[in-house]
Amino acid sequence: MEVLVYTTAHLTTIFVSKADSTGFIHLLKLPEKVSVLRTISHTFLSYLARTRQRPGVRLVLSLFARAQNQYIFPGSIDNPEKHVLDDRGLIKWWCRAMDPILRENDEESLANKDTSSADHANEVKATSATAFLIVPGCDSRETHIFFPASAKKDTRERPRWRAQYPVHQLCHDPSAPPRCLVPRFPDDPKTRFLIDLDDELPEPVEGENAPSGTGLWRSVRSLDQFWDLMSFRQECSAGRLVGFLWLVINPPGMANSTAMPGQTRASTNTDKPSNGAPKSNPPEADPQNQPSEEISATTEPVSSSVSESQPELVSSFDRPPTATAESPTNPYHWPEAGRGDVVLNEVDYKTMMEDILDHFYDEAEIVGSTKAFVEQVSSLADQLTWGKRVKGSRIVETTATEDAPVNNLTTGLIRKRKKSDNESNEKTEVPVLAETSEQFSTPSTPVEPAGINMLNSNLVRKKKKT
């Protein structure tokens, strides 16, 4: 699993870039109903969410679910035991993997509804979270099919899963142009669509009296229209469904209704392009790449582009009460707990990822390829050993099976068989057991046998002699 972590002054984004398996987990001979990969995925992402949480700063887990034979391990599709999910199955799989992280946090109120002061006070005491899902080409009702089974137990007033884009939680100005409301990540279909739409922007006009542009595209004028057109993109309309998933986590002291705090820059000529269009670059942060469940490789702490633009940031918002003294002009946040055993710079990390793609992970070369990968990381990090052995147990919840209640039919559902004429004339009595075993009912009078039915002579026809 490759995970990119971006930190800004007001938002921490954990983006799942790639996830894949070799398909050899069947060698552990685990029960079929136990999904070890889903357990590892949500445990690793939950660990990152806990270690990357900052006081007074939202955190969002973001991913793009697209079914494919292999992502990271070339040749793994040749393994007949590898279970490749289809498009719908993969979206549901990721929703079930994210749901335990969602349930670790409390529920939050709706951002568009007025909540009482008591509800607001209870909400800001603990960490709250809500999941958002968008499947291009599916409406809100069709998207609810992909939600996990636990979503049916949520109340309508405070749903934990929603079929929409969390624009109010991720953007400080939802009225900005659509190109400023969608983040850009590497190898992401949203980013490629944004780049294509940026070609529609007018060319900048040089000069002091040049008119300022609006920063709007010619074809797409709103965020809803952007998501509608995403369903016609090649990656989203190739006969398979894709899903965009966000899990927004609010720290204590911040509610869902709390809007993203804004930032104001010093009025310089370099703040905006000459055509007046606002910048839509992704938030500059420290992309910290987590290539697997057991290690984490990160880039250099501070880049030159971040350090040059940081002095221009000016705080123009009120911090939540629980916020610490962390300066908003320094969004860089790299806790020691989430660094892992190996720290690589950007060049060495790209070398490591390219080496993975140069090997095959089929049944014949899986051992040699894995050994080469471990040795290369040790060489790049200048460490003899690295990694940790993960060992744990899964608690299986057993539910007591109760005996099914007997379904007694009511008398209204019982139909009696109609008696024939002969049976209706005859009266039979059945002996009934008395209160004690020694007492029986008195025997009934014997019924006289029915007489012989003699035919009349007129009804008898003799056979003619031949």
Q: How many CA atoms lie within 13 A of 137 on its CB side?
A: 14
Would you list the DSSP string of 185-197?
Answer: -TT-HHHHHHHHH
* 441 secondary structure, DSSP code: P
- From 20, 87, 99, 188, active-site residue: 188
Interatomic CA distance for residues 278 and 409, integer angstroms: 73
Q: Which residues pair with 297 in a beta bridge?
A: 289
Write down the pLDDT at residue 134. Answer: 94
Interatomic CA distance for residues 73 and 369, integer angstroms: 10
Instruction: Report CA dihedral (440, 441, 446, 449) to the nearest 10 degrees.
Output: -90
* 64 secondary structure, DSSP code: E
Write down the pLDDT at residue 443. Answer: 56
Would you list the DSSP string of 68-98?
Answer: -S-SSSTTGGG-TT-----HHHHHHHHHHHH
The answer to whether the beta carbons of residues 247 and 98 sit under 8 Å apart is yes
**Is 341 known to be catalytic?**
no
Sites in the chain below the pLDDT cut of 50:
111-113, 263-328, 432-434, 436-438, 440
Backbone angles phi, psi at 18, to 5 degrees: -145, 150
pLDDT tens per residue across span 429-461: 555 444 544 454 555 556 666 667 777 777 777
Strands (E), 23-71: 58-65
The answer to whether the beta carbons of residues 23 and 72 sit under 8 Å apart is no
Q: How many CA atoms lie within 13 A of 17 on its CB side?
A: 18
- The answer for residues whose C-beta is within 8 angstroms of residue 203's C-beta and 6 or more apart is 275
Determine how many CB atoms are found less than 10 A away from the CB of residue 371.
11
Write down the pLDDT at residue 118. Answer: 58
Pairing verdict, β 161-162 and 128-134: parallel
Query: Which residue matches tokens 């709390």?
Result: 258
Q: Which residues pair with 2 in a beta bridge?
A: 18
Interatomic CA distance for residues 183 and 179, integer angstroms: 9
Write down the pLDDT at residue 94. Answer: 94
Q: Which pTM value belongs to this model? A: 0.68
Write down the pLDDT at residue 5. Answer: 92
Q: Is 296 exposed, middle or buried (0-12, 13-18, 19+ CB in 10 A)?
A: buried
The answer to whether the beta carbons of residues 259 and 172 sit under 8 Å apart is yes
Write down the pLDDT at residue 16. Answer: 94
